[in-house]
A and B are shown apart, each in its own frame.
Chain A
Amino acid sequence: MFNPRDIIEILAANVRQTKSPFGIPKFMANTWHKDLCLPKEGEYLLFTGLMYQFAPYIEKSTQYLEKYEDTKIAGYLKYTRLLPGYFSGIGLAMMTKPKEKKKAAKPLKDIAYLLQKSKVNFGYRPDLDNYSGILLYDMGDQQGFIAHAKKVARQLQDAGIKKIITIDPHTAYAFKELYPKYTGFGFDVKQYFELLNFEPKDCGLEVTLHDPCFFGRYQKLSDVPREQLSNMGISVTNIRNQGEFTSCCGGPAESISPRLSNEIMEKRAKELQASGKPIVAYCPICLGNLKKSGADVQDLSTLLAKHA
C-alpha cells in the first residue's frame, strides 16, 4: 500500500495545475473527436468528463505503481509532487503506446455514433469537456474537489449549457449529486444509453453484464442497458451479484494499492467468467480493470454499435 497522503497530494496538485489528476494535458488526451466533424450546438452537450480518455494512462501508471508497491522506492513517491504536473503527465503520455490510446477512443466514437443513429440532438465542445474532479472527492480532498468543480460548472453555465449527456458512472454521479450540492450549479443529466432509440432486432446473443457500483447501486440505472440489449435480441445472464447488489471491480483502489485492487478484480472476474459468455462493462475503470484478468470484456457501446 502506498502512503495515501502522498498519492492525494500528487493528484490534487495535478488537478490544480493541469485540470487532470494524471497531469496529462487535455490536448494530448482528448483527440477522439478530431476526425468526426461533430456539431458544436444541440439540445444536449455531450460531456465525456475525459474518463475514457484517461484509461490507457491509468493503466500505464498502475503498471509502475504495481512494481514499487511496498518497496523502498514507494517512499520517494512524495517527491514527485515537487515536479510540475505537466512534466510527469507528458512523461506518462509518452510512455503510453499509440495503439492503447486508439483503443481507448473506440467507446467514445461508438457512443457518438449511437447518439447520432438515435437522432439525439447533441453538440460537442472540446473546450467545455473537462474532468469532473471526482477522484479528489472519493479520496477525501473535499476542498480540492469543490474548487475544481466550481471552475468546470461555471464554464458550462457561462456557455449557457443546461442539459448534458454523460458517458461514465462517476462523472454522471458527480453532476447529478455532487455539483448541485457543492457548486450551486445544477444540470439536467442523462446517461447516453438512456437516450438511445433503435428498431428492435434479433441478434440471438447472450452476454454477462458487469454493473458498475455507481450505476447499479448509487444511481439505480442497471435496468436501462438491459432494456437496450433486450431490444436488440441480446439476453443478459443472471448472476448472483448484479444490479443494486453488484460487486466492485476493484478499480477504485488502483492508485493506493494495486495489489488490493487486483485481488478484488480477480474475484469479480471469476464470478463474471463462470457463465462462459462474453462480458460487457459500461464504465472505463471497470473495463480497464477487468481486462487485466485476461477475460473477454468489451464496452457496452462497442456491442451496441456493432448491432445497431
Chain B
Amino acid sequence: MSLVTLDFAEELKEYCGDNAFECFNCGTCAAICPLVHDNFPRRMIRYIQVGARQKILENSDELWRCLHCGLCTQTCPREADPGEIILGLKRFVVANWRKS
C-alpha cells in the first residue's frame, strides 16, 4: 500500500469539502481540544493535506473520540473548521466500511 494517495483530496471532497487546505498547522485546535490526545485533530488534518489516506483508515477509531464540541472550529485562526473536518472524516470512514 502506498504511503500517499495523490487524489485523496478529491475523494474526500464529497465528505469534508476542501477546508483542510486552509490549515497552516498552527496547532491551536490541538491545544484547545479537551481530548488532549496526540496532536488531535491537527494530525488528522495534516494527513489529509499530505494524502495519507491509509493512515486515516488505520487510526480511524480515534475520530470517534471527538465530542463534536466545536471548540477547535471556534478558535481556528484560518477558519478551516477542524471540527467539521473530523465529522467529514467519520463520514468517509463509515462509507468506506460499508463499501468493503
* Residues on A facing B (Cβ under 8 Å): 1, 3-5, 7-8, 138-143, 213, 217-218, 244-245, 247-248, 250-253, 256-257, 260, 264, 267
* Residues on B facing A (Cβ under 8 Å): 15, 34-35, 60-61, 63-65, 67-71, 74, 87, 89-91, 93-95, 97-98
**Whose C-beta in chain A lies nearest to the C-beta of B37?**
A260
User: How far does the alpha carbon of A140 sit from the alpha carbon of B94 in the complex, in Å?
Assistant: 7
User: How far does the alpha carbon of A250 sit from the alpha carbon of B35 in the complex, in Å?
Assistant: 10
Q: A213-B69, A252-B69 are in contact. Are A138 and B87 (CB under 8 A)?
A: yes
> Which residues from chain B contact A256 at a C-beta distance below 8 Å?
64-65
- Whether A260 pairs with B94 at a CB distance below 8 angstroms is no
- The 7 tightest CB contacts between A and B, nearest first, are A140-B90, A248-B69, A4-B64, A252-B67, A140-B94, A213-B69, A140-B91
User: How far does the alpha carbon of A264 sit from the alpha carbon of B36 in the complex, in Å?
Assistant: 10
Of B35, B61, B89, B90, the residue contacting A3 (CB under 8 A) is: B61
User: How far does the alpha carbon of A135 sit from the alpha carbon of B52 in the complex, in Å?
Assistant: 28
> Which residues from chain B contact A3 at a C-beta distance below 8 Å?
61
- Whether B67 pairs with A217 at a CB distance below 8 angstroms is no
Least distance between A251 CB and chain B CB atoms (Å): 8
Of B65, B74, B93, B94, the residue contacting A245 (CB under 8 A) is: B74
Least distance between B12 CB and chain A CB atoms (Å): 13
> Which residues from chain A contact B69 at a C-beta distance below 8 Å?
213, 217, 247-248, 252
**Whose C-beta in chain A lies nearest to the C-beta of B64?**
A4
> Which residues from chain A contact B70 at a C-beta distance below 8 Å?
213, 217-218
**Whose C-beta in chain B lies nearest to the C-beta of A251?**
B67
**Whose C-beta in chain B lies nearest to the C-beta of A140?**
B90
> Which residues from chain B contact A7 at a C-beta distance below 8 Å?
64
